[in-house]
Amino acid sequence: MQYLLLIYGNEAAMAAAPKEAAIQMSAAYGAYTEAMKKAGVFLAGERLKPTKIATTVRVAGGKTNVIDGPYADTKEQLGGYYLIEAPDMDAAISWAARCPGAGTGTMEVRPIWPMAEYMPAYTA
Amino acid sequence: MTAGRPDTARAAAEAAARQSYGKLVAYLAARTRDVAGAEDALADAFAAALERWPRTGVPEKPEAWLLAVARRRSIDAVRRRLTSEAGRDHLKLIAEEMEARMTDEDLPDERLRLMFACAHPAIEAGVRAPLILQTVLGFDAATIASAFLVSPATMSQRLVRAKSRIRETSIPFRVPERAELGERLDTVLEAIYAAFAEGWSDPAGTETRGRNLATEGIWLGRLVASLMPDEPEALGLLALMLFAEARRAARRNAAGDYVPLAEQDLALWDDALIDEAEALLRCAAGKGVIGRYQLEAAVQSAHTTRRLTGRTDWMAIRELYDALSVIAGSPVVAINRAVAIAEAEGAAAGLAALYVLGDDKRLDDYQPYWAARAGLLARLGNIPQASEAYDRAIGLERDPAVRRFLQGKRAALRN
């Protein structure tokens, strides 16, 4: 099963953190990513640039709306993700708990919905 | 400063509520094998007790109080719709028996039998500890789920499934006969230790939604040890948990950083708990049957001799792990044995013992293996491999304090 681990955290607090803390956090993420790769779990994962440079796009009534900023103003912002291969939800939760971001923010674990499950005819 | 006392009173009231609730659930379920029905019958009353007793104090006859509230609520027309048929039958049953007795002191303690049912081999191993925590202590699925790193919906499903299995397959509520007791007691003790260990490894060593499972594990361990005082392994497990608990305060410094065992401030160890554990271990040893928990407790005891002699007896610890790997071998035991060998005979010998584990896939995401390996490689001056192993350990750690500690160790390699 594939799972998407979404990393939410307080961007402002992270930007204000002392340099040493930021270096330590980056090193922890490096080690976490490496441990995932060595355990054969890692499929993909990236950090996202801050939400202030996000752009929201929506088409309504034939009219395209392009708005500066993220889709939702939340206390914690989506800051990165990992796509992993894990045997089950329990294993995915264990990996989410190990993410350095789990200690400073919130992790959301979302199972990937394979097309074969909701469109069997299409993929057959 | 003034917060200490009300908190203590609150905790005591909550513990009393859980104690009485567990006794009633066990009493009902032992008669009907319907654990869910028993819980259902008492759910409202238990919630009321959790809410009220911390304010008003624990009533004189807590079980009678719970029962009276449960009956009153079920008579209530609104509640009748919410309380299941099975729940009403339970109340009727217990009310009749209780009235015959008229006093709650007489209520027989069936919690041991309930624990044996919950830890029955026919119940999936991973759900035994959660089931005991729910039925004997009244914890809700969400709290248990957080402690065991499982989603609340999943935990809830597993608990429901396990309870219907108890009813449908007629799992007996009894303490097994002597011939099969050993093996069956093992599953009960294992479940209790699993609860304790979840609390113990809880990041930051603090609370899970206000309650620490390590404390609950010890409580269950005390219950089993008091109900089965002649079982050396029951005493051994309690001793093991108390030794570990005695060092709780020393595991973090004032800044919240992780402090490894070798560097802990001995003044922070709880001497009273250590003494109690030593006494339990002696009592268990006197019964002449050695077992896994007694050996593990003996390892802890050897660690605590540092309190008296200033040094750790690594030869003794190594021998205890030798014995453990014979009767209860596992990667965890092998790793600890390798660390003891390294202390007793040198890092090279320790590393050789660690390498015997080879390519066990289970070690890919097992942090203690990588931390031990990194430490030994570092002592041998193999900096590149040590850094690599530290990275694995750092990447697998979920406690930020331990992660910082490992990062510090890795950074120190370059000097």
Provide the pLDDT confidence category of residue B176 given band limits of 50, 70 and 90: confident
**Long-range Cβ contacts of B85-91 (<8 Å, 24+ apart):** B86/B32, B86/B34, B86/B36, B86/B37, B86/B40, B86/B41, B87/B37, B87/B40, B87/B41, B88/B41, B89/B32, B89/B37, B90/B28, B90/B32, B90/B34, B90/B37, B90/B38, B90/B40, B90/B41, B91/B41, B91/B67
Locate tokens 């654990």: which residue? B35
* The pLDDT of residue B210: 42
pLDDT digits (tens, 9 = 90+) for B156-166: 999 999 999 99
Q: Closest chain B residue to A97 measured between Cα atoms? A: B398
Q: Which of residues 139-158 of B touch A (CB under 8 A)?
A: 149-151, 154
pLDDT band per the 50, 70, 90 thresholds, residue B207: very low
Residue of A nearest to B394 (CA): A31
Q: Which of A31, A41, A93 sits opposite B391 (nearest CB)?
A: A31
Q: Which range has the top average pLDDT, B103-117, B241-255, B338-352?
A: B338-352
B398 touches chain A (CB under 8 A): yes
CA gap B280, B272 in Å, rounded: 12
pLDDT score for B105: 57
Alpha-carbon distance of B194 to B190, in angstroms, equals 6
- Which two three-digit tokens encode residue A48? 């996202």
| d(C-alpha A80, C-alpha A33), whole Å | 12
Burial class of residue A64 (count of CB atoms within 10 Å of its CB; 0-12, 13-18, 19+)? exposed
pLDDT tens digits for B80-117? 555 566 666 666 666 666 655 545 556 778 889 999 99
- Tell me if chain B has a CB within 8 Å of the CB of A94: yes
Higher-scoring residue by pLDDT: B63, A32: A32
What is the count of structural domains for chain A?
Answer: 1
The per-residue pLDDT for B103 is 52
- Do the Cβ atoms of B364 and A38 come within 8 Å? yes
Number of CB atoms found within 10 A of residue A118's CB: 9
Residues B204, B401: Cα–Cα separation, whole Å: 7
Rounded CA gap, B29 and B39, in Å? 9
- Sorted by sequence, the CB contacts under 8 Å of residue B128 that are 6+ apart come out as B118, B119, B187, B190, B191, B194
Altogether, the residues listed in chain A come to a count of 124
A38 and B CB contact within 8 Å: yes
What would the pLDDT profile of B263-278 be if each residue is shown by its tens digit? 999 999 999 999 999 9
Q: Phi, psi at residue B368, to the nearest 5°?
A: -60, -30
Portion of chain B with pLDDT greater than 70, in percent = 87
Does A42 lie at the interface with B, CB-CB under 8 angstroms? no
Segment B287-306 shows an average pLDDT of: 93
In three-state secondary structure terms, A7 is: strand
Burial of B274 (0-12, 13-18, 19+ CB in 10 A): buried
Residue (of B353, B413, B354, B343) closest to B384 by Cα position: B413
Distance CA B409, CA B373 (A): 13
pLDDT at B83: 55
- What pLDDT band is residue B297 in, cutting at 50, 70 and 90? very high
Angle, CA B298 vertex, CA B293 and CA B302 arms, to 5°: 150
Residue A70's CATH number: 3.30.70.1060
B395–A98 CB contact, under 8 Å: yes
CB-based contact B31:B93 (threshold 8 Å): yes
Q: How many CB pairs under 8 A join A and B?
A: 61
Scored b (16 or more CB within 10 A) or e, A16-46 reads: eeeeeeeebbebbbebbbbbbebbebbbebe
CA pair distance B277, B271, nearest whole angstrom: 10
Does the structure show a pLDDT above 70 at B293?
A: yes
Interchain contact B203–A (C-beta under 8 A): yes
Please report residues of A whose CB lies closer than 8 A to that of B360: none
Determine contact: B407 vs chain A, CB below 8 A: yes
**Shortest Cα–Cα distance, A73 to chain B (Å):** 26
The pLDDT assigned to A84 comes to 98
Q: DSSP state, B177?
A: P
Are the C-beta atoms of B148 and B199 separated by less than 8 Å? Answer: no
**Phi, psi (rounded to 5 degrees) for B186:** -55, -45
> Looking at the predicted structure, is the pLDDT value of residue B7 above 80?
no
Q: Are B299 and B244 in contact (CB under 8 A)?
A: no
